[in-house]
Amino acid sequence: MSKQVSPESALLMLHWQNSVAHPDGVWGKSLYPQITKNNSIDNAQKVLRAARDRGMLTIFVNIGWRAGFPELPDNQFYPLLQGAKDENKGIIGSWDVEVIDALKPVASELIVINYGSDSFEGTDLDKLLRVHNIGHIYVSGQCIEHVVETTVKRAANMGYNAAIIKDAMSGFTDSNYNAMLDILPLYCKVVTADEFVTSLNVPARFAEQPRRHANDQGAPRFSQRLRRR
């Protein structure tokens, strides 16, 4: 049995939704100034276009709950999520849980709903990645100190290789963002949006590999994309 990580790659778009990345969102009210400062929406658009052009599997992960928040204990002390409960925000099917207009998924792109900071906990994300033989994930998303950090650490502990696209994400504060860029290299690679786009411009011979999923057009090997880092 091979112990090698599969070379196939996917792009994860974490919590690019109205409640988080829109100025009127319950968390977006606090995050949006940092999102604007980092130009993270424009960079995420650049990343998303490149992934689509290359036929890379792309999965959106959005946070949301059923009406009444049955997924969250009534007496849990979880300040970051308490605001959503108090304001009855983030109900699945509502505007809050929809991806922002600038990054709307296309019909072929999957959406996973999670209930906290971990994109894997209580979701079928791991199953979707393994069904498509994905061993390497690129991550763009919001709340680098919350969603991105937890997801990347879990991915590393589950045997995936990961790379965060640092300018296609942001945090609540500069200090949080910078602290995560000091910590996360212990778990993953760190690239820019431009580096991600450039890395997809590989020789044609890589595009001739067998396709792994319906929309795959020969996604290049992660190791080849990052060899020059």
For the cut 90, the answer to whether the pLDDT of residue 140 exceeds it is yes
Q: What is the pLDDT of residue 3?
A: 78
Q: Where are the beta strands (DSSP E) in 109-182?
A: 110-114, 134-142, 161-170
pLDDT at 212 over 60: no
Dihedral over alpha carbons 130, 132, 134, 138 (to 10 degrees): -120
pLDDT at 165: 98
The predicted pLDDT at position 201 comes to: 78
The structure's pTM equals 0.87
Would you mind telling me the total number of residues written for the chain in this entry? Answer: 229
Helices 40-54 and 28-38 cross at an angle (nearest 10°) of 70
pLDDT tens digit string along 112-130?
999 999 999 999 999 999 9
Report the C-alpha gap between 207 and 172 in whole angstroms.
39
Give the residue extent of every domain in the chain.
8-226
Strand pairing class (134-142; 110-114): unpaired
Confidence of residue 2 (pLDDT cuts 50, 70, 90): low
Q: Please enumerate in sequence order all residues whose Cβ is within 8 A of that of 155, keeping only pairs 6 or more positions apart, or say none.
A: 120, 137, 162, 187, 188
Residues 6+ apart with CB under 8 A from 170: 31, 34, 35, 37, 38, 40, 142, 144, 177
Percent of the chain with pLDDT over 70: 87
| pLDDT above 60 for 219 | no
Q: For the purposes of burial, counting CB atoms within 10 Å of the CB of 24, is it exposed (0-12), middle (13-18) or buried (19 or more)?
A: exposed
Sequence-distant (6+) residues with CB within 8 A of 22 are 28, 32, 100
Strand partners, 8: 134
Please state which architecture CATH assigns to domain 8-226: 3-Layer(aba) Sandwich (3.40)
Model pLDDT, residue 222: 40
CA distance 92 to 75: 22
Report which DSSP code applies to 191: E
> Mean pLDDT over all residues of the chain?
89
Neighbour order of strands in the sheet with 57-63: 110-114, 57-63, 8-14, 134-142, 161-170, 189-191
- Per-residue pLDDT tens for 158-177? 999 999 999 999 999 999 99
How far is it, in rounded angstroms, from Cα 103 to Cα 113? 17
